[in-house]
């Protein structure tokens, strides 16, 4: 039920600039900032307890570390040597655990799940085998912060795939039950589009970019994002569930296929997608400041 960590920087400035004159659209206006809601622990304590039992707050902490570790990627590709301490400060603010947690909780649809479904998920997550499965997920995600560990996991997956390891069939059932490939691919594409919108709205370009050009650029990334997503999911799950018996993993799949599991999966993706879209848009507007500065 965990979202893969993907964000692609592949802005082709020549392509974008060449097509601007053909069709221009007004720059979109960022959404107005709304007053901060009370934390989820106050608004919906049972939902907060469920998410805590699922390790979601630890996952957000790891996602923050992933984002901070990759903070030099857009700088190196788009405005090399221009960001410095100011860029790092922006990244630290946008991807702080507090900022990401607030965005996640604000977007989590608390009414998507019934009280009975919340109770069922919490009970599963706080007893065996659910507790051990979740601990394995978090441990593997944290280990993947080390690129060498992730690379080794990908090699292991390719070897297992070549050997037609039946364990991959079991993982494939879990991936299919939760629609993890499609949900992650669409989430990554939407985040990339939000980043491009942030660049455009932040004034990175001298002229307005037509929406269809941004969409075409984003969709051009889809095959590579899909391939990367599939490899990441299998590599990660081989690591996360290496100590889980087949019978315990069957129980995990069965839970994910219940109405409660499906409702949880949909709610988590809704919240994480909104969180990533918000931070991606903000990242784009932040990058635009430095890109525009290069041209002055």
Q: Measuring CA to CA, which residue among 101, 91, 111 is closest to residue 44?
A: 111
CA dihedral in degrees (73, 32, 60, 86; nearest 10)?
Answer: 40
Greatest CA span in the chain, whole angstroms?
63
Peptide bond into 129 cis (omega under 30): yes
- 47 within 8 A of 40, measured Cβ to Cβ: yes
One digit per residue, the tens of pLDDT, for the chain of length 296 reads 455 554 443 333 332 332 222 333 333 444 444 556 789 999 999 999 999 999 999 999 999 999 988 866 777 778 887 788 888 898 899 999 999 999 999 999 999 999 999 999 999 999 999 999 999 999 999 999 999 999 999 999 999 999 999 999 999 999 999 999 999 999 999 999 999 999 999 998 878 888 999 999 999 999 999 999 999 999 999 999 999 999 999 999 999 999 999 999 999 999 999 999 999 999 999 999 888 765 54
C-alpha distances in Å from residue 7, one per residue of 26, 191, 193, 281: 26, 7, 10, 12
Q: How far apart are CA 157 and CA 153, in angstroms?
A: 6
Angle between helix 56-69 and helix 45-53 axes, rounded to 10 deg: 60
Query: What pTM, to 2 d.p., does this model score?
Result: 0.87
Q: How far apart are CA 122 and CA 247, in angstroms?
A: 20
**Structure confidence at residue 140 (pLDDT):** 98
> Residues 93-147: pLDDT tens digits?
999 999 999 999 999 999 999 999 999 999 999 999 999 999 999 999 999 999 9
**How open is the CA angle 181-277-150, to the nearest 5 degrees?**
50
Q: How far apart are CA 218 and CA 267, in angstroms?
A: 25
Q: How far apart are CA 261 and CA 174, in angstroms?
A: 12
C-alpha distances in Å from residue 16, one per residue of 37, 62, 200, 263, 282: 38, 34, 11, 40, 20
The neighbour count for residue 267, using CB atoms within 10 Å, is 22
> Residues 209-219: pLDDT tens digits?
889 999 999 99
Residue 8, SS3 per DSSP? coil
């Amino acid at each position: 039920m965990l979202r893969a960590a993907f964000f692609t920087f592949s802005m082709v400035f020549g392509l974008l600039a060449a097509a601007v004159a053909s069709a221009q659209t007004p720059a979109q206006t960022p959404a107005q900032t709304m007053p901060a809601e009370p934390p989820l622990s106050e608004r919906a304590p049972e939902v907060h307890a469920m998410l805590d039992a699922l390790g979601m707050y630890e996952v957000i902490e790891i996602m923050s570390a992933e984002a901070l570790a990759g903070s030099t990627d857009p700088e190196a590709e788009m405005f090399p040597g221009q960001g410095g301490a100011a860029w790092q400060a922006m990244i630290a603010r946008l991807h702080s655990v507090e900022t990401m947690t607030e965005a996640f909780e604000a977007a989590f649809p608390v009414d998507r799940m019934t009280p009975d479904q919340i109770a069922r998920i919490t009970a599963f997550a706080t007893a065996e085998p659910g507790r051990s499965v979740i601990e394995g997920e978090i441990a593997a995600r944290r280990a993947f912060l080390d690129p060498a560990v992730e690379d080794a996991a990908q090699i292991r997956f390719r070897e297992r795939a070549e050997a037609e390891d039946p364990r991959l069939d079991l993982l494939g059932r879990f991936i299919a039950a939760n629609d993890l490939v499609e949900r992650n691919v669409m989430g990554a594409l939407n985040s990339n589009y939000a980043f491009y919108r942030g660049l455009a709205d932040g004034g990175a370009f001298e002229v307005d970019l037509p929406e269809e050009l941004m969409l075409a650029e984003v969709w051009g990334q889809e095959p590579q994002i899909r391939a990367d997503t599939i490899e990441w999911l299998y590599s990660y799950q081989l690591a996360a569930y290496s100590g889980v018996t087949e019978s315990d993993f069957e129980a995990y799949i069965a839970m994910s296929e219940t109405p409660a599991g499906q409702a949880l999966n949909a709610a988590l993706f809704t919240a994480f997608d909104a969180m990533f879209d918000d931070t991606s848009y903000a990242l784009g507007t932040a990058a635009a400041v430095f890109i525009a500065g290069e041209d002055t």
